Amino acid sequence: MDIEARRRIASELLGGEALTEAWGGFCRCPGAARHSAKNGKKDFRVLLEGAPTGYCLHSSCAAEVEEFNLALRRAVWREEHGGVAGDGTHGTGRDDDRNVAAAPRSEAMKRRRAVDLAAVARVTQGMPHIDREWLRRRSPMDVRAVGFAEFFEAIYQHGERVLVFTRFTSQGDFLWWVGRGGFRLGPREGVRAVPSELPGGAKCGVWFLANPVDGKWHEAKYLEDGGRRKSRRSESALTGFPYMVLESDELGEDDWLKVLVRLKLPIAAIYTSGSKSIHALVRVGAESKAEWDHMRNELQPLLTALGADGAAMSAVRLTRLPFTLRRGSEKRDGSYVAWQTPGRQELLWLDAQPETRGLVSYGIMRD
């Protein structure tokens, strides 16, 4: 690792901002123009050791910081690997989504609030075993009888557009337009979308952006050469803020499902990741990003104490798309591992009109 090379790369991406500390330094956030609160000198910092990453205390710039981090890790990968992909499958020298330095999972974990196991025990006390089949049997809509169309039509409004991803770092590979169906998207501006079925699976699974978009390209992000690029998955592309995603890497499935059942939140859908994780889509119905942030800030302390991943509670959030296959996963070093048996991202619960009474009212106390 050449720390000086990393410092130079980060400085160039930040428009010449000087990083003078051994570990990186504080500087102006690449998304400072979006900050809704007063800027401070130490709001944004860049860490250069380990997985190079920028962090900001503000939440309104999440999309810009994410794009900066991707550009930084791509450039660092090129510098330290000669522009060649590490797993031998992308040796063309192209800009590939996997030619990036690993994301700092350990750093993200440090920023999470500790789970209050005593609170989890109190919330789940006296509850019988909750499993996936329990949710399927009580789902307001029969999850075995729905597909992509019924899923999206149930939880989004007529005319809303939802981005679908077969590559996590793409700008969206497909789109579901409520009332009109699925479309395959062009990889860049100017390439027209064409009607298409949604994908039934992908190497690492399929995702959708929880909040709807306009489907257009918006000038937003930074490239390695200091230029700008356009995005259709950034906050500026969002047309509404109806949903928040809940997931947990801290609790086992049994405890996490008990927590979800107990929460008095309007849960529209619950589905699996094709592996161990289970996601819940909560309808918050915010009228603006500011209102969404306020709701998140109010809920976050409680939910993280009960095992929810606070880092996943962002308005620009990808979550797993049910009915699709996940054929493998990527390691932290970017290498791909194909699974012997693909995992299915299963829909467990679907409610077109979720209420705040909680799933507990659907019969848990009679079991």
pLDDT digits (tens, 9 = 90+) for 234-284: 889 999 999 999 999 889 999 999 999 999 899 999 999 999 899 999 999
pLDDT at 196: 97
For helices 253-262 and 117-124, angle between their N-to-C axes, nearest 10 degrees: 60
Residue 220, helix vs strand vs coil: strand
State residue 120 phi and psi, 5-degree precision: -60, -45
Largest Cα span, the chain: 64
pLDDT at 94: 37
Question: Cβ distance 55 to 31 under 8 Å?
Answer: no
Retrieve residue 251's tokens.
């609790």
pLDDT at 221: 53
pLDDT at 332: 67
State residue 235 phi and psi, 5-degree precision: -60, -35
Neighbours of 90 (CB within 10 A): 16
**Which distant-in-sequence residues (6+ apart) come within 8 Å of 302 by Cβ?**
none
C-alpha 44/C-alpha 21 separation (Å) is 14
pLDDT at 255: 94
Which residue is it, tokens 């350990």? 106
Neighbours of 278 (CB within 10 A): 23
Burial of 38 (0-12, 13-18, 19+ CB in 10 A): exposed
What pLDDT tens digit does each residue of the chain (367 aa) get? 678 888 889 988 988 888 877 778 888 888 888 877 777 777 888 888 777 888 887 777 888 888 888 888 888 888 887 654 433 333 333 334 445 555 554 444 444 457 898 999 998 988 888 999 999 999 999 999 999 999 999 999 999 999 999 999 899 999 999 999 999 999 888 899 999 999 999 999 999 999 999 999 987 655 444 455 788 998 899 999 999 999 998 899 999 999 999 998 999 999 999 998 999 999 999 999 999 999 998 899 899 999 999 888 999 999 999 999 999 998 767 789 999 999 999 999 999 999 876 675 555 434 4
Q: Taking Cα atoms as reference points, which of 52, 56, 51 lies closest to residue 27?
A: 56
**Which distant-in-sequence residues (6+ apart) come within 8 Å of 105 by Cβ?**
51, 332
Q: Work out the angle at residue 207's Cα, subtended by the Cα atoms of residues 206 and 213, and round it to the nearest 5 degrees.
A: 135
pLDDT at 337: 92
Retrieve residue 354's tokens.
């979720």
pLDDT at 246: 97
Question: Cβ distance 308 to 248 under 8 Å?
Answer: yes
Which residue is it, tokens 């690792």? 1
C-alpha 359/C-alpha 367 separation (Å) is 13
Distances (CA, A) of 45 to 26, 166, 234: 4, 31, 21
Q: Taking Cα atoms as reference points, which of 321, 273, 277 lies closest to residue 164?
A: 321
State residue 253 phi and psi, 5-degree precision: -60, -40
pLDDT at 334: 73
Model's pTM, two decimal places?
0.69
For 40-49, the CB contacts below 8 A with 24+ separation are: 46/10, 46/14, 46/19, 46/72, 47/23, 47/104, 47/107, 48/3, 48/6, 48/7, 48/10, 48/19, 48/23, 48/24, 49/1, 49/3, 49/23, 49/24
pLDDT at 330: 85
pLDDT at 92: 34
Alpha helices in 185-288 (DSSP H): 253-262
Residue 83, helix vs strand vs coil: coil
